[in-house]
Amino acid sequence: MDKRKKILEAALKLFVALGFHGTPTSKIAQEAGVANGTLFHYFPTKDDLILGLYTDIKIRMTAFVNENAKPEDTFKATMKGQYLASLYWALDHKTEFSFKQQFHNSPFHLLLNQEEIEKQLKPHFDMLRKGIEDKIIKPLPVDYIHTLISSHTFGLNQYLTSNEFSTVKQHQLISDTFELLWDMIKEN
C-alpha cells in the first residue's frame, strides 16, 4: 500500500475516533507508520489532510453511486436509485460516512473550493431542476431540495447504524423512507 493511502486510512480512523482537533498529525503519522515529514510531503497542513480525505471519500462514494444508480425510465426511479446507492454505500463504509457527516458539521467544509463543489453538484442539481421544470417535484430552490435529501440521508444512516437491524430490515427501511422523502418533495 502506498504511503499516501496509509496516511489517509490512519487519518480517517483517528479523526472519526478523536475528532479533528483531538488528532495531532504526529499521531496520524505514527498510526500510518510514516515519518512526520512524509505526512507533510503529501499534505502540507492538517487542513490539507482533512480536505484531501474528504475529497477522496467523496470521489469513491460518487463513483459507487454513478456505477450503481443508472438512469431509469422515470424521474422518481432515477432518484430512488441514487438514494438507495448512497445509503448502501454508507452502510458498507460506516467510518467514511461518519467522517463525511463530521466534516459537513465542521468549519472545514467552508474551506472547500466553491467551484469544485458546484462542479460535483451540477449533475444532481440539473436533475432536480428538470424535475421542477417537468412539474414532477415542487418548485422549491434546488439547493434547499438537495439539503432536504442530504439531511434525510444523514439522519437515516445515523438511525440505521445506531440500531442492529438485519440487512433485509435495513433495505426495507431505506426503501420506505425514500417514499417519505418522495412524498415531501413531489408535486401534487
The percentage of the chain sitting over the pLDDT mark of 90, rounded to a whole number, equals 84
Q: Which CATH class is domain 1-44?
A: mainly alpha
pLDDT of residue 1: 73
- Which residues have a Cβ under 8 Å from the Cβ of 58 and sit 6 or more positions away? 100, 120
Domain residue ranges of the chain, discontinuous segments joined by +: 1-44, 50-185
Q: pLDDT band at residue 74, thresholds of 50, 70 and 90?
A: very high
What is the residue type of 31?
Answer: E
- Which residues have a Cβ under 8 Å from the Cβ of 181 and sit 6 or more positions away? 83, 148, 149, 152
pLDDT of residue 136: 97
Q: Could you confirm whether domain 50-185 is CATH 1.10.357.10?
A: yes
pLDDT digits (tens, 9 = 90+) for 164-180: 999 999 999 999 999 99
Fold match flag (1-44 vs 50-185): no
Reduced to 3 states, what is the DSSP secondary structure of residue 74? coil
Give the angle subtended at the CA of 121 by the CAs of 44 and 69, to the nearest 5°: 110
Q: pLDDT band at residue 80, thresholds of 50, 70 and 90?
A: very high
pLDDT of residue 117: 81
Average pLDDT, the chain: 94
Q: Is the pLDDT of residue 93 over 90?
A: yes
137 pairs with which residues across the strands? 186
